[in-house]
Every structure is written in structure tokens, then in C-alpha cells.
């Protein structure tokens, strides 16, 4: 079995082909016969897991196992306590109400890599960063959650899936999981459904064709 994590750059499709000839995973990952677990939007960045383990793919995509995903989210404006509470309790988006989420307002801006295209700011409106942890997989869920409380998402970075973390993986780089990480990932989807958090740092790395864009200014956990 093959298990790979990639730090997906901005404006890369989480698939290997595209009729419109946009940049896809094939421009970065040179491993055959693996597929992404779930999705990460074209305009989002961060951790993507790829594998040929169909059983694990299914379990990680099944919300009953509640495998937690962590995101750093830059939003327009400074969220009020009321807005943060609504996000934590769940908000109504088009098709359903979201499940309770773990939401933390970051007092200091996280030191992350520069995006390939700068975020467009409005000069008279400040921005702030949130850490959001969810175990659902609704379409564009985090962006729709922050929009529902009137603080639109400007930038979104997925930093972890269950026990897996980006750590110092650069945008466009990928690496194989260590045997220990594979064991922890499988354990996160066994037995009674539960949340999984924490992380380990593997050894070794690989780079795709366009790997190593701007530097990762600080390790993200």
C-alpha cells in the first residue's frame, strides 16, 4: 500500500486530470495509482492525503468516524464572541446545520508561507486568523461557515488530518508516511467513532515537479 501527504499549493485541483488544462496533482506528485482522500478546494492550500488503500479512504471519508481536520482560516474583519460561539455550536448553511466545531481566535498571525497569489485586502477592513477543527466534509464547509456569521474567508490552509500534520512540508512538496503514521491513521478509524488529534513528524521528504515554492516560515502543528 502507498500513503503520501502533499502540501497542496493555491490554485491546484485535487485530482490528476482536468479538461480545462488547469494545474492538478499530476504536476506535483510522481507516484502512480494513488488517489486523494476527500477534497481540498482549488483555492485552498495545505495537507492532502493520497493512497491506494480503498478501505482507509472510505473510513476517512465517513463522518461517523469523526476524524478531525484542522484549518488555519484568515477572515475579513475581527469575529465577535457571538460569531465564534455560533461557529462552535453549528451554523445553518444551505442544506443543513453544521456540527459543533472547535474554534479558536488566534491572537497573533500564524507565520505561514507566502501564497503564490497575494490575498486581496480591503484597506479599511482588518483581517484576523482562526483555527477551526471539524470532522464533517460538506462542500466548501469552512468558507460557508465563516460567511454565515458575516466574516468571509480570505485564505484557508488545512494543517492536519487526524494524527497527520504538515509540519515543515513546503508548498508543492510531498512525502511518504512513516509506518508509525500509517498505524496511527488506521487506529483513528477503528472501533467506536471518535475524534483524532495530535500528530507525529515523519522522516524524509519528496518534491514534486513544482515543489519548494516560498519558504515555510514556521512549523505548523
Q: Which three cell numbers stand for residue 206?
A: 519528496
Q: What is the DSSP letter of 114?
A: P
Determine contact, residues 95/138, Cβ cutoff 8 Å.
yes
pLDDT band at 156 (very low <50, low <70, confident <90, very high): very high
Residue 64: what pLDDT? 76
Q: How do the domains of the chain map onto residue ranges?
A: 3-64+161-207, 67-159
41 is catalytic: yes
pLDDT band at 139 (very low <50, low <70, confident <90, very high): confident
Q: How many Cα neighbours within 13 Å face the side chain of 170?
A: 18
- In tens, the pLDDT along 56-107 reads 988 888 777 788 999 999 999 999 999 999 999 999 998 789 999 999 999 9
Q: Which of 27, 41, 43, 52 is catalytic?
A: 41
Most confident region among 33-47, 53-67, 182-196 by mean pLDDT: 33-47
Determine contact, residues 75/144, Cβ cutoff 8 Å.
no
Q: Does domain 3-64+161-207 have CATH number 3.30.70.580?
A: yes
* Overall average pLDDT of the 148-160 stretch: 97
Residue 194: what pLDDT? 43
* Overall average pLDDT of the 188-200 stretch: 52
pLDDT band at 189 (very low <50, low <70, confident <90, very high): confident
Region 67-159: CATH code: 3.30.70.1560
Q: Which three cell numbers stand for residue 12?
A: 491546484
Q: What's the rounded Cα separation, in Å, for the pair 32 and 13?
A: 17
Q: Is pLDDT of 22 > 70?
A: yes
Task: Report how far Cα 146 is from the mean position of its chain's Cα atoms.
Answer: 16
- In tens, the pLDDT along 95-138 reads 789 999 999 999 999 999 999 999 988 888 999 999 999 988 88
Query: What is this structure's pTM?
Result: 0.85
Residue 191: what pLDDT? 53
Q: Do domains 3-64+161-207 and 67-159 have the same CATH topology?
A: yes
- 199: helix, strand or coil: coil
Mean pLDDT value across the chain: 86
Determine contact, residues 72/159, Cβ cutoff 8 Å.
yes
Amino acid at each position: 500500500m502507498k500513503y503520501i501527504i502533499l502540501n497542496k499549493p493555491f490554485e491546484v485541483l485535487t485530482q490528476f486530470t482536468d479538461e480545462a488544462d488547469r494545474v492538478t496533482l499530476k504536476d506535483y506528485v510522481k507516484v502512480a495509482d494513488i488517489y486523494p482522500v476527500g477534497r481540498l478546494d482549488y483555492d485552498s492550500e495545505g495537507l492532502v492525503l493520497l493512497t491506494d488503500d480503498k478501505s482507509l479512504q472510505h473510513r476517512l471519508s465517513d463522518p461517523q468516524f469523526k476524524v478531525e481536520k484542522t484549518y488555519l482560516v484568515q477572515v475579513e474583519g475581527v469575529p465577535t464572541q457571538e460569531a465564534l460561539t455560533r461557529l462552535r455550536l453549528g451554523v445553518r448553511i444551505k442544506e443543513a446545520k453544521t456540527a459543533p466545531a472547535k474554534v479558536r481566535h488566534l491572537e497573533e498571525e500564524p507565520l505561514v508561507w507566502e501564497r503564490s497569489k497575494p490575498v486581496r485586502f480591503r484597506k479599511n477592513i482588518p483581517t484576523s486568523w482562526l483555527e477551526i477543527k471539524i470532522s464533517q466534509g460538506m462542500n466548501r464547509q469552512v468558507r460557508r461557515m465563516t460567511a454565515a456569521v458575516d466574516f468571509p474567508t480570505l485564505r484557508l490552509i488545512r494543517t492536519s488530518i487526524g494524527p497527520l500534520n504538515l509540519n515543515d512540508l513546503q508548498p508543492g512538496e510531498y512525502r511518504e508516511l512513516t509506518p508509525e503514521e500509517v498505524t496511527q491513521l488506521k487506529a483513528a478509524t477503528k472501533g467506536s467513532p471518535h475524534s483524532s488529534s495530535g500528530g507525529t513528524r515523519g522522516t524524509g521528504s519528496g518534491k514534486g515537479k513544482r515543489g519548494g515554492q516560498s519558504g515555510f516560515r514556521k512549523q505548523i502543528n
